[in-house]
A and B are shown apart, each in its own frame.
Chain A
Amino acid sequence: MFKRSYALLALLVIAGMALAACGPAASAFECTDALGCVTVGPGEPIHLAYAMVISGADETLGVDSRNGVEVAISQKGQVLGHDIQLTGEDEGCSAEGGQAAGTKLAADPTIVAVFGTSCSSAARVAVPLLSQAGFAIISASNTAPDLTEAGNENNHPGYLRTAHNDEIQGAAAAQFAFEELGVTQAATIHDGSLYAEKLQEVFATTFEEMGGTITTTEAVDPNGTDFKGALTSIAATEPEFIYMPIFVNAGSLITRQAKEVPGLEEVRLMGADGMFSPDLVEGAGDAVEGLFLSSPDLASFGPEYQSTFLPKYEEMFGTEPISVFHAHGYDAANMVFAAIEQVAVQDPDGTLHIPRQALRDALYATKDFKGLTGNLTCTPTGDCADPKIAVYESHPGQFPPDRIWP
């Protein structure tokens, strides 16, 4: 069976030998880029790829971002007269998945840029591989600080992200809680994901630096349903405020159940952009009243998101956004398009040459880019998310919620 397939491969090669004469003609363009150029022949599509989690328990995260990217592509139509081809690999929200996806994508020199990864654990393994291959890498949902921390072994050239660095968001949340609300006793909840765990850690440290006290840290199962136990043990420590940077599913249930736990009825809850979704409002029902959510400043995010993005998304995928990082994916895609249009060299016959290093530089140089998730400006290490974090207060049946701070 398998021996045969090798034989077949060999045969194909030989058959090809005959056709060797008619190879593609070399183009006039001289590539001087440090990382070389991608050449896209006339009529060929520009090849972009994703490395996101599209199977298993965390798949909504990746599928949602990918959908965001696809919306952007279909809205964009063509870049410099070339279609856009999106292929991708499943990174399984795990290190091994990241390695597999990274290795496979890295082996395909036609790829210009990679969207991903979804999970920071995957990024730590995949990004070096993709960076090696000379791609530009933009993640829509990595939030682990080390990925963009200058000098950190996990920070690699060519890597950018439109998602929020935990450092920024966690700190902002702490600031809001301590200064705006004036609470001094806070508890935190995480769900064992890198994202939540890191975010609450940052919150805790900042909050304590400011002089507040963390009464307790609870951990919950993201697939769990009954969180009364966790909430009760939190209630026993009598916090005035609970920070729970987790995801929609557990988030909405905790929001409900907190109202039912004696001692927590009046305690204010706060989530992060992982919960910034219409599903939360539906899932949490009336209990959502007064829930704080931190998220990039939607000043620019509001109308366009509602008026054009959401309808398009639902038209394409038959459902509302299933998670929270679709807009980030959408922005990432548009950043790439803009950068390509900026650096690509086009031959008269329509052939496109995309210098890789130049593309990266263009992306790092992104400034005041009007995206769904705010005004994107990239730092030299690749943090592109709008640094202005706003806090929103949710009300039943209302999305997006009201911006109340700053």
Chain B
Amino acid sequence: MLRNWTQRVTLTDIIVWALGILILIGVIWGSIVTLNTGKYSTSTWIDLTITGLALGGVYALIALGYTLVYGILRMINFAHSEVFMSGPFTATFAAQALIALGWWNTYPILSLVIVMLVSAAVSASIAILLERIAYRPLRHAPRLVPLITAIGASFFLQYTFRGLYGSGLKPFPDMEIFSGFWLIGTVRIFKTQAVAILGAFIMMLVLYTIVQRTKIGKAMRSVSEDKEVAALMGINVDRVITTTFALGGISAGIAGILYLLLFPVAHFFMGFFPGLKAFTAAVLGGIGNVPGAFLGAMVLGLLESVGPSLFLDGLGIPAPNQLKDAIAFTILVFILIFRPSGLLGERLTQAKA
């Protein structure tokens, strides 16, 4: 093995490794310094961790959409970020209506369910339309084509919703039941955060069972292995793919509501960056792999919220949190270089590009 390695290694590898190691050293050094200065207390770190996990929860739910679609079609549904935006953006109106009805805080759970249904329905239908109109005709085209289409669709949707609902901010009303926090020992965990983390986890389990245990899940897996064969075995490939998009849409819709519980402002641009992060998360965990998406999202959320203070602060970088997106993307790059199949590996057989 080693011998082969020595023979195969090229200049590029060396440089890439050098870069990687350099960054690693930076990270470690930064962390050590930060921890030594003791600028942050333990409870601070815990708070950041919880925040990160909550954020990760949201990312996870979006990432599931990417992962499902990628798993089946081997394509990055770039427009998934807008699928994510469309639901909650619309749901804010439902929320306003519920307030007008006076249900919002009298039947909080019911209201929440309604809002989630609205959000999920919108997101799902957008996802299905997207597949039907933009992707299905291109299923056999070279892989660059659907990707470009997806990018186009993403912009089209973003600005369509801007046109429909306007470019202003749509605040999402607070829910009394979710205000405040629980004290677990000395650790404060805000109810919204708890909901986000739990919601994500449950959704992940549900999807996982659907994919692994149910009939449609079986069909999905066989389609992802080989569409032609699946078709021969009497599986309705189109229906399976539509279902997949629908599932992705639903999880995105629900993600949207959790997102609004945490960050109660909706606008037409809200999908873009979370979408990008979620994709990063999906790759991080091993795209096409449902638990992977969850794990990846959690890790990413964690690194994003803890990273700047831990790594950069120590290096004496001012306003480190400005660079947290940079951290996320750097992670993406290096994951793809050193472990392209992600933390848990790509569950589905991967096609060569």
User: Residues on A close to B: CB < 8 A?
Assistant: 57, 59-60, 63, 192, 217-221, 223-230, 232-233, 235-236, 248-249, 252-253, 256, 260-262, 279, 282-283, 285-286, 318-323
Contact = CB atoms under 8 A, between A and B. Distances in A.
B166 A282 contact: no
Contacts of B188: 262
A226 B305 contact: yes
A223 B273 contact: yes
B171 A217 contact: no
Interface in B133-183: 166-169, 171, 173-174, 179, 181
Contacts of A59: 167
Nearest to B274: A225
Contacts of B43: 262
Most buried by A among B173, B319, B324: B319
Contact of A283 (B47, B166, B264, B304): B264
B265 interface: yes
A285 B44 contact: no
B297 interface: no
Interface of B: 39-40, 43-44, 47-48, 51, 55, 166-169, 171, 173-174, 179, 181, 188, 190, 259, 262-265, 267, 269-270, 272-274, 304-306, 308-309, 313, 318-322, 324-325
Contacts of B167: 59-60, 63, 322
Nearest to A192: B322
Contacts of A236: 39-40, 44
A227 B321 contact: yes
Given A220-B321, A229-B306, A320-B168, 6 more contacts: A225-B262, A228-B47, A229-B321, A230-B321, A248-B169, A260-B190
Contacts of A323: 168
Given A236-B40, A279-B168, A221 B322 contact: yes
- Give me the 4 closest cross-chain CB pairs, A-B, nearest first: A322-B168, A282-B171, A219-B319, A230-B321
Given A220-B321, A221-B325, A283-B265, A229 B48 contact: yes
Contacts of A248: 169
A233 B320 contact: yes
Nearest to A237: B39
A232 B309 contact: yes
Given A319-B166, A322-B166, A229 B324 contact: yes
B323 to A, nearest CB: 9
Nearest to B325: A221
30 contacts: A57-B269, A60-B167, A192-B322, A218-B319, A219-B319, A219-B322, A220-B321, A221-B322, A221-B325, A223-B269, A223-B273, A226-B51, A226-B55, A226-B304, A229-B309, A233-B321, A236-B40, A252-B265, A253-B265, A256-B264, A262-B43, A279-B169, A283-B171, A285-B173, A285-B174, A285-B264, A318-B166, A321-B168, A322-B166, A322-B168
Contacts of A60: 167-168
A248 B264 CA distance: 12
A63 B268 CA distance: 15
Contacts of B313: 233
Nearest to B267: A249
Contacts of B321: 218-220, 227, 229-230, 233
A228 B48 contact: yes
Contacts of B319: 217-219, 230
Contact of A228 (B173, B259, B265, B305): B305
Contacts of B272: 223
A197 B212 CA distance: 52
